[in-house]
Amino acid sequence: MAIAKAERLMNLALCLLGTRRPLSKRELRESIEAYLEAGSDDSFNRMFERDKDDLRELGLVIETVENLDGEVGYLARRDSNRLPPITLDAEEAAALGLAAKVWQQARLAGAASGALQKLRAAGLPEDVDPYGAHGALEPRIPVHEAAFEPLMLACRDRRPVVFDYRKANAAQPGQRHVEPWALECWRGHWYLAGWDRDRGAERVFRLSRITGKVRSRSGRFTVPVPDVVTVRETVASWAGETADRSARIRLRSDAGYPLRAKATVVRELGDGWDELEIPYGHGLDAWLVEFGPDVVVLEPAELRADVMDRLRAVAKG
């Protein structure tokens, strides 16, 4: 939501909540600077009706009342817009405290801390240990990619975006037009799931491969957002997590620790090399390319050929 619109909605909400009697459109227009600058009466009426609908969608109860002069007035009674008391048990309070701690490294840290303070002021028990028996743990979700914040906001506001994306087997990035659905962290990397307009299909993008700025676009989504977005399952299938085949590779002894964590068999070959057997599934070739000269694919032959093709494409760039 644009800052100007958010400010206008806030001012309208304050006017409606602060009045003791219904206010007419004319009175509201004279009280809110943005409405005075709206121009014609038609422009103001359209803006006001949209703002009123937006506030109602956000949960504000706005009453419409006809006053003595026959004018329609509006107000939001405080007793109709008061939230019920917040009641949290120890487990719920601990979960909230843990969630606030997670975002320390992101720009959401201030918002998370502020929300926790407001909950405590509203009755969150002060003596609840948010870490319980695991007080030594310091949960954090690392957010180093510049694309994270604009994509998070775009997911929240249901706003299409455009960005340049470099595939693992491509020498140069290509532009993507995406309707973003959800962000999820999996094994230390952030991924975006959404609808790729150019390809007309659902896609998952790794944020570390987004180059340049994420640009917002006007307009609505062209396809509905699924009730469940399976980011982790999609990425896991690409990485061979659900594979029933095995690949045999050579790996330098001091490299490729994520590959070692996946390996079902590790044999020392000497001369600074080990032999590993790891699950073989769709997308494993793209992952192996990231390790460059530290990995040599032994078998199967089709996996070796795929890795070589990707390396050649990168070398040509």
pLDDT digits (tens, 9 = 90+) for 250-273: 999 988 888 888 888 999 998 899
Cα gap 86→294, rounded to integer Å: 55
Burial class (CB in 10 A: 0-12, 13-18, 19+), 66: exposed
Confidence check: pLDDT of 107 > 80? no
CATH architecture of residue range(s) 3-75:
Orthogonal Bundle (1.10)
In percent, the amount of the chain with pLDDT more than 90 equals 24
Cα gap 180→192, rounded to integer Å: 7
Omega before residue 300 within 30° of 0, cis? yes
pLDDT confidence bin for 136, thresholds 50/70/90: very low
Tell me the residue type at 198: D
Cα gap 113→156, rounded to integer Å: 20
Across 114-135, average pLDDT = 55
The residue extents of the domains of the chain are 3-75, 90-134, 148-235, 245-316
H or E segment at 193?
strand 189-196
Quote the pLDDT of residue 228.
79
Cα gap 11→33, rounded to integer Å: 9
Cα gap 207→237, rounded to integer Å: 18
| CATH code given to domain 148-235 | 2.30.30
CB 179, CB 229: distance < 8 Å: no
pLDDT digits (tens, 9 = 90+) for 262-301: 888 999 998 899 999 988 766 677 778 888 889 999 998 8
Phi, psi of 278 (to 5 degrees): -130, 155
pLDDT confidence bin for 161, thresholds 50/70/90: very high
pTM tops 0.85, yes or no: no
Length of the chain: 317
68-90 residues labelled b (16+ CB within 10 A) or e (exposed):
eeeeebbbbeeeeeeeeeeebee
Mean pLDDT of the chain: 80
Of 202, 106, 217, 234, which is closest to residue 160 (Cα–Cα)?
A: 217
